[in-house]
Structure 1
Amino acid sequence: MLLSVGFSEIKKTLLLVWLALMFVIPKEYGLAKGFILLCICILSFIYILREKKINIRECGYFFCFIVYFLSSILYGVVSGWKFDITQDYPLFFYYVFTPICVFLFGYLYQNNKIFIVKICICMTAIISFLDLIRIFMILGILPKVGIIDFIVRVDSENTLMNELTLRISNESSLIFLLPLNILFLTLPRDDQRLSWKYKIGIVVASVLGSGYAMLSGRRILEIGVLIAWLIVCSKFLLQRFSVASLLKGGIFVGAFLLIISYIFETIVSNSNLSNLSDMIINTFFEGFTGAGMQNRQSYIPGLIELWETAPIFGHGLNAYGNVLANWQTLWSYEVVFLALLGQAGIIGVFIILLGVFFVLASYFNIYKSTKSNWIKALYKAMAIASVIFVLAGLSNPQVYYAWFWGIFFTFSKVGEYDV
């Protein structure tokens, strides 16, 4: 028993540290993250040997996935597409090592879903708070703080020409975490799985995160947040109203507007951004026709031509179109799935979408079979946030992140404490 408790605490500690690093500092400390992930995989292997429980269908899927995409890499090399192991090694990480880690991650943490939920809530609140502080530092409203300057890295900033772009390196995590956290507002409040501290954390993270999303200028993040809020509002409006529910809803909306107004007013009063609201709106709509969108559109004809010449199996994962997005990793494009069509063909894209379908089908089965309204709301939130993140991969390369696929797969497994 003591050994089992020690094993549980070790694996949860590793999970907390790894996810904290992946969420908050996604582009730094790669060796440390890799070592922790390796430890997680070793513990999972021990767990599988001890429990002697494994799903043959899942094993078959992951095996076929790895074999197909490894063959695609080798085919691309043999076909003569440029391949330099010192630059193109991420292909092996994304399509071979990552699926192995995801499989092992899911088995190890299948009974720790509530713990993962708690980590997501805490990390969303922490990231949102730190990112807002970092923006205030960028605009000169707050003095620079060394530790925040070190942890919260700035990807890009632009406050000129009626455009507002204040992007922090960890905002890619928020594309999944923030809509998920907002959707957690639909969790039944009378359930005891989350203490009042986490329930307050959900509210704080949702409000602060939404404030950051508006200031970031990251259109895909703003759309994800908007979708999540529309779902939350529709659920509230469709419920049976009582005086208590109307009062709580009114207090929440009032507090939300008050906090967002205070953040905006502080920025306007202490910087030269007097037309802040106009800049936010202009940046959002400019994103549909701006330089970033034009760059993505310039890749599309070449990638379509690449796919048309080998539609079934593709040219190999290291293949690329006649217009490059990256001069080092030539196969890397922001329009990930379109590039994948030309590289791995219809079969490659089908294999990935089949995996997504299997997981979402498991979510639906758990949703239908459980009697707990809290679990139903949790899985609805997980499914919607996951679909938002995957669809964001149509124009952003963050779908390569191992942490997302690990969490996504883990929730597809029925843990003994979940239903």
Structure 2
Amino acid sequence: MAPALLGLSLAAACSNSSGSSSGSAGSAAPLPASCAKYQPYAGHSGTTVTMFASILSPESDSLEKSWAEFSTCTGIKISYEGSNDFESQLPVRVAGGNTPDLAIIPQPGLLGQMVKTGKVVKPPAQTVTNEDQWSPIWKTYGSVNGTFYAAPMSANMKSLVWYSPKAFQAAGYTVPKTWADLKALSDKIAAAGTNGSKPWCGGIGSGTATGWPATDWLEEVVLGGQGSQVYDDWVSHKVKFSDPPIIQSMQTVAGWMQNPAWVNGGIGDVKSIATTTFQDAGAPVLTGKCWMLQQASFYEAQWPKTAKVGPDGDVFAFQLPPVNPALPVPVEGGGEFLAAFSSRPEVQAVQNYLSTADWATSRVKVAPGWVSANHGVDQSLYTDPIDQLSAKALTDTSVAFRFDASDMMPAAVGSGEEWKAFTAWFAEGESIPKVAADVDSAWPQ
């Protein structure tokens, strides 16, 4: 990946990337001067477009703010619904004929499952043109069997460890640069046991998506310990979960996030990770009960508004070092893709707008912790320190970047049995060989 954000002027981005394929905008009444940039999407006032996704408040609050002006100017109402059960409910709704007009899908594997139903509509021509403002690899993530279906909306940096710079400074701790340093620091914190604190906290609860943070932990260890080729072969199942590289990586995860001396600071024992939501997992970092949390850049939205985020603040993040220091620095990322189940003109107008640098810029301005890999977004717009850190890592050509593995796997595996089996791994102490075998058995024949 690692596309360079080219800093194209916003005016150029708008003029080149905005448009509607409905054919009605050209004959629509002119919009007021304050809304002129939305003229290509005009002509659909009074309509409603439904959207379904897994994004919840407070993230969804900024999402809705990002298109508020578009809706006001065009008269197109976007009726948004977020659900913790999105991954399980979307297939149910599609099968039952209760499809949303648009769905924000974070897993290419789930996108593939939806395309197989025959209900996903190919994007309009202008959306396809707008895709040119992304690195070509992103088009493959939004494609199924070589056909483009869903434009990317965001990119996120998952290879982060959240911590409190103030607490580190007070205790005399320094940010670890290697995996060995990370282990040594964890042992040191555990031995100190200040106020009953532990080095790590975590939570994998997420409704019917419970388990996904644990899959991220394994992905980080596979990419940073086994390398890119093993990672790619694992995604395609050439390397199975039960094969030595993945079993070894799962053992590394167990030594890290299932170590009773290291987790779950301020919350409970190892099993409490399974019953703690990922949103709540970081709270003990601010109370001194936990020192580190491995979570993505988008976790910034979960910190209280009163907490200062920055290198000298209440909370910040550092890049997770590779397990194997001989390998390139691993960067695991994710993203979201907008798929349509309707070709109504107003739906296509929304699709077109949400695929532009204009919309991405609007979202950047209202959503700390949100990053776009759209080349039309001026990188200087990122004023938030986590966004700056993430954008730099996601555009660094020297790192080993890979998209979230479970999101790339078939939905029955990556957002199905793997989540279920990994939850059992933490909640019930299921053995590593059993967890691996259960996931392998779910792979489509």
TM norm structure 1: 0.24
TM norm structure 2: 0.23
Q: Which has the higher contact order (CA 8 A, sep 6+)?
A: 2
